[in-house]
Amino acid sequence: MGRLFTVIRALVARGQDVVGEHATDRLEERGILEWQVVDGIERGLFLEERLRESPNPTVEVLQQLPDGTPIKAVWSHLKPVDMAKLVTVHFFDE
């Protein structure tokens, strides 16, 4: 499991997370509620991390919605403020 994933999951568990504007738009487009993704990271599976991503390092997480639908959530670590940020969400068939 990636170290960044562990950091982001801990930040979300402590409520130190934000949802970016792009993620908000994608959630609305896809009919996903924000809480479903935030709550789902606890049981999420690490897929990949991109430590050199700019402007912030990111991690891709396989998550499931309450109805069992798998999604890929992209989270970043906002180091200056020590917050996790939901960047975007995708269905796997897109």
Return d(Cα 46, Cα 66) in angstroms, integer. Answer: 18
Domain count, the chain: 1
Q: pTM for the whole thing?
A: 0.92
Q: In angstroms, rounded to a whole number, what is the distance separating the alpha carbons of residues 55 and 52?
A: 8
Task: Kindly report whether the peptide bond that precedes residue 57 is cis, defined as omega within 30 degrees of 0.
Answer: no
What are the φ/ψ torsions at residue 10 (nearest 5 degrees)? -65, -40
Q: Could you tell me the pLDDT band of residue 1, with boundaries at 50, 70 and 90?
A: low
Render pLDDT for 8-59 as a digit per residue (tens, 0 to 9): 999 999 999 999 999 999 999 999 999 999 999 999 999 999 988 888 899 9
Domain ranges, residue 31 = 3-91
Q: By the 8 A CB rule, do 62 and 49 touch? A: no
Q: For the domain that residue 33 is a member of, what is the CATH number?
A: 3.30.2310
